[in-house]
A and B are shown apart, each in its own frame.
Chain A
Amino acid sequence: MRMTISEKIIASAAGLEKVSAGEIHTVNVDRLMSNDGTTHLAIDMYNTLLKKPRIADKDKLVFIIDHNMPADNPKTAAAHKKMRDFAREHGIAFYEGKGVCHQIMMEEYVRSGELIFGADSHTCTYGALGAFGTGVGNTDFLYAMVTGKSWVLVPPTLRFHLTGKFREGVYPRDLILTIIGDIGADGATYKVMEFTGEGAKAMNINERMVLANMAVEAGAKTGIFEPDEAALEYLENHGRKPKYLFKSDPDAVFEKEYHYDLSKIEPVVARPDNVDDVVSVDEVGDVKINQGFIGSCNSGRIEELRTAASILKGKKIADGVRLLISPASNTVYLQALQEGLMDIFIDAGAMIMNSNCSVCWGGCQGVIGEGEVLISTGTRNFKGRAGHKDSKVYLASAATVAASALAGKIVRADRVIA
Chain B
Amino acid sequence: MEKSKVWKFNHNVDTDQIIPSQYLLLPTIEEMKAYTFEPLIKDFAKQVQPGDVIIAGENFGCGSSREQAPRVLKELGVRAVIAGSFARIFFRNAINIGLPAIICKEAYDKVKQDDVVELDMSEGLLKIGDETLTCTRLPEYMQTILNAGGLIEFLNKEEVE
Contact = CB atoms under 8 A, between A and B. Distances in A.
A301 B156 CA distance: 43
B155 A363 contact: no
Contacts of B28: 44
Interface in B1-50: 12, 14, 16-17, 20-22, 24-29, 38-40
A362 B139 contact: no
B56 interface: no
Interface string A19-54: 000001000000000001110110011000111100
B12 A189 contact: no
Given A143-B152, A185-B12, A186-B58, A383 B17 contact: yes
A123 B20 CA distance: 20
Interface stretch (A134-142, A171-179, A253-261, A316-324): A134-142
A71 to B, nearest CB: 9
Given A51-B160, A136-B92, A384-B20, A68 B87 contact: no
Nearest to B156: A51
Nearest to B31: A75
Contacts, number: 140
Interface in A100-146: 119-121, 123, 135-140, 142-143, 146
Nearest to A186: B59
A380 interface: yes
Contact of A37 (B38, B66, B156): B66
A140 B63 CA distance: 17
A382 interface: yes
Contact of B24 (A51, A137, A139, A363): A363
B150 interface: yes
A263 B116 CA distance: 54
A143 B68 CA distance: 17
Interface in A378-398: 380, 382-385, 389
Contact of A143 (B63, B70, B151): B151
A36 B21 contact: no
Contacts of B24: 37-38, 67, 363
A38 B87 CA distance: 19
B21 A140 contact: no
12 contacts: A24-B141, A36-B25, A51-B156, A51-B159, A123-B65, A137-B67, A137-B70, A137-B89, A146-B155, A362-B22, A380-B64, A382-B16
Interface of B: 12, 14, 16-17, 20-22, 24-29, 38-40, 58-59, 62-68, 70-71, 85, 87-89, 92-93, 96-97, 139, 141, 150-152, 155-156, 159-160
Interface of A: 24, 36-38, 40-41, 44-45, 49-52, 67-68, 75-76, 78-79, 119-121, 123, 135-140, 142-143, 146-147, 151, 153, 185-186, 189-190, 216, 219, 221, 274, 361-364, 367, 380, 382-385, 389
Q: Which 3 pairs between the two chains have the least Cβ-Cβ distance?
A: A137-B67, A137-B93, A389-B39
